[in-house]
Structure 1
């Protein structure tokens, strides 16, 4: 049996509705607290996922937004129109934070070895586990999946509005194309999470996708996109939920909410069993909740896969080859 954690960036507790989104709410769901960045005063994806997997605030795990941290990013080096202009400090901080949250030019790419080197315990340490796309927990720095590839090549499909006074509002040159790209990103990550579950080799499977977050950042100007995305995500999670065995559990978690194009100061959790989230009041409690479940319930992976699941046999190799051929692995 396995516990599956799916990180859905920007899943908003105030948007979730049990009747409209039964699979995003699962059998129990609630609003939880997030952590604000000391630099921007808003929740930052760059800082929050390391906090979720360690149970520590950013100042304790050390992966923080800092002045100038992203200012030498290649995006700026390539933009001659910016390199010749002296921007105010507050604008530099805003743009640096945006680069870390919304591009893939070396961002979100802290290797998993960082945690061991800095003696930081993670939710993955004491379990047979599979981490899929967790921001700033990169198991293989040389490996990039389809979500990474699509996200870093958004171009005009996802641009920061520098004239807007908020920190995270964006524009898109083609709402329809942008939406489909975000959906593809999400489908890839959720498919990889499903496959890891179906292989029955892991006590803990922890997947992550950023598609809902990206769509939320442009939805203030594109009414209906976010609502549509929630409906589709509910279907995606429903397919993952259908893969669960009788003894498997599913837990959803977000790092913050997102409304009117901006991050909000609350996050969400949902689970197939209320006891999994009973003691989670903040994103910092997720690690402890998962570890408690692993210690109190036998999640030893099955020694032999069921014929109805995809494992390491011939069928498993066929599926892996198919994903590789499509560029998803």
Structure 2
């Protein structure tokens, strides 16, 4: 039995249509409360650590500064110390935006060791768990996957601009959309492999594609609608791999409309029991752990069935008929 959690950044309860998006609504869905950052809106950087720990951002310590830049990131830390002394706040913000757009600096790459070093528990502790791309929970800092590489290679397709609506601009929204959906496909494909392998009791996979599209689609709402439609199909592929006892939970950190993060997040699950007690992003960890403790989810490993002689002979005959043998 596998419990699979898909972290769908910016999945907005107001934009999920139960009739058109059955795989995003699943058997039960609900809007939940999220938490604002110092910059005045919910922050991905802060909220995924909240989701996996059950702690508020001040409690887990991974917070943004008032300008929306994670100056505590080691790659930005030295520059921030100098900037604090010699630069005005507005210029610091612009420099931070430039660094995140034009360098390999990444605000979401806090290693998993941070939590143990600071005495912070997570949903992964003591479990046979697979964490795929969870922001600020990096299992191996030296390893990246294709989604991470695509995000770092966006260049003009996704530029941070403090003056733009939604805080970002794109030189080519259509090309950007395709790249974002490729990112979604990569992470959900990895989630499917984790599910099919049967080696983990918990598979937790995150993707940022929906959030990224939303930040530049404020003047092209059709792109965001298309992203929801495609995401529904891709989650449907994951859903089709579920065994009869497997469970699927979708969770977001906030919504996103008109290019701006909204103050409602969302959960959906294959069983209403899984979301019944989730009222806030701080409740997600507890709900996952309660379900993992309720039923034995210890991995059984994948079993490959041997073909019998009759099956092998039938395949051979088909190949001969097609001229391959």
SS for the counterpart of 2:122 is coil
Within 5 Å, give how 1:30-69 maps onto structure 2.
30-37=30-37, 39-66=38-65, 69=70
SS for the counterpart of 1:140 is coil
For residues 268 and 224 of structure 1, do their structure 2 counterparts lie closer, same or farther at Cα, with a shift above 3 Å needed? same
- 1:66 CA displacement: 2.8
Match of 2:260 among 217, 238, 262: 262
Match of 2:291 among 270, 279, 293: 293
Match of 1:240 among 213, 238, 241: 238
Is structure 2 residue 158 aligned with structure 1 residue 158? yes
Within 5 Å, give how 1:117-132 maps onto structure 2.
117-132=117-132
Unaligned runs of 5+ in 2: 307-325
- For 2:272, the equivalent position in structure 1 comes to 274
In the alignment, the residues of structure 1 paired with residue 65 and residue 206 of structure 2 have an alpha-carbon distance, to the nearest angstrom, of: 24
Residue deviations 1:47-86 (CA, integer Å, cap 9, x gap): 11000000000111111113674399979x99xxxx9xx8
- For 2:224, the equivalent position in structure 1 comes to 226
- For 1:197, the equivalent position in structure 2 comes to 195
- For 1:321, the equivalent position in structure 2 comes to none
Q: What stretches of structure 1 move > 6 A for 4+ residues in a row?
A: 71-75, 97-103
In the alignment, the residues of structure 1 paired with residue 59 and residue 101 of structure 2 have an alpha-carbon distance, to the nearest angstrom, of: 20
In the alignment, the residues of structure 1 paired with residue 102 and residue 235 of structure 2 have an alpha-carbon distance, to the nearest angstrom, of: 24
- For 2:112, the equivalent position in structure 1 comes to 112
- 1:305 CA displacement: 2.2
For residues 257 and 49 of structure 1, do their structure 2 counterparts lie closer, same or farther at Cα, with a shift above 3 Å needed? same
- 1:220 CA displacement: 0.7
Would you say the 8 A contact 2:6–2:251 is kept in 1? yes
For residues 266 and 2 of structure 1, do their structure 2 counterparts lie closer, same or farther at Cα, with a shift above 3 Å needed? same
In the alignment, the residues of structure 2 paired with residue 102 and residue 48 of structure 1 have an alpha-carbon distance, to the nearest angstrom, of: 24
For residues 40 and 307 of structure 1, do their structure 2 counterparts lie closer, same or farther at Cα, with a shift above 3 Å needed? farther
In the alignment, the residues of structure 1 paired with residue 275 and residue 215 of structure 2 have an alpha-carbon distance, to the nearest angstrom, of: 28
Larger Cα-atom Rg:
2
In the alignment, the residues of structure 2 paired with residue 279 and residue 188 of structure 1 have an alpha-carbon distance, to the nearest angstrom, of: 31
For residues 36 and 173 of structure 1, do their structure 2 counterparts lie closer, same or farther at Cα, with a shift above 3 Å needed? same
Would you say the 8 A contact 1:103–1:151 is kept in 2? no
Provide TM-score, normalisation by structure 2. 0.85
SS for the counterpart of 2:303 is coil
In the alignment, the residues of structure 1 paired with residue 130 and residue 301 of structure 2 have an alpha-carbon distance, to the nearest angstrom, of: 17
Within 5 Å, give how 1:171-182 maps onto structure 2.
171-182=169-180
Residue deviations 1:98-143 (CA, integer Å, cap 9, x gap): 9779985132111001111111100000311000000000000000
Richer in helix (by share): 2
For residues 8 and 287 of structure 1, do their structure 2 counterparts lie closer, same or farther at Cα, with a shift above 3 Å needed? same
In the alignment, the residues of structure 2 paired with residue 251 and residue 124 of structure 1 have an alpha-carbon distance, to the nearest angstrom, of: 15
Residue deviations 1:166-195 (CA, integer Å, cap 9, x gap): 5x3322111221111001111000000000
Within 5 Å, give how 1:302-317 maps onto structure 2.
302-307=300-305
- For 1:134, the equivalent position in structure 2 comes to 134
For residues 87 and 217 of structure 1, do their structure 2 counterparts lie closer, same or farther at Cα, with a shift above 3 Å needed? farther
Corresponding residue pairs, total = 299
Would you say the 8 A contact 2:9–2:207 is kept in 1? yes
Would you say the 8 A contact 1:71–1:96 is kept in 2? no
In the alignment, the residues of structure 2 paired with residue 137 and residue 95 of structure 1 have an alpha-carbon distance, to the nearest angstrom, of: 26
Is structure 2 residue 3 aligned with structure 1 residue 23? no
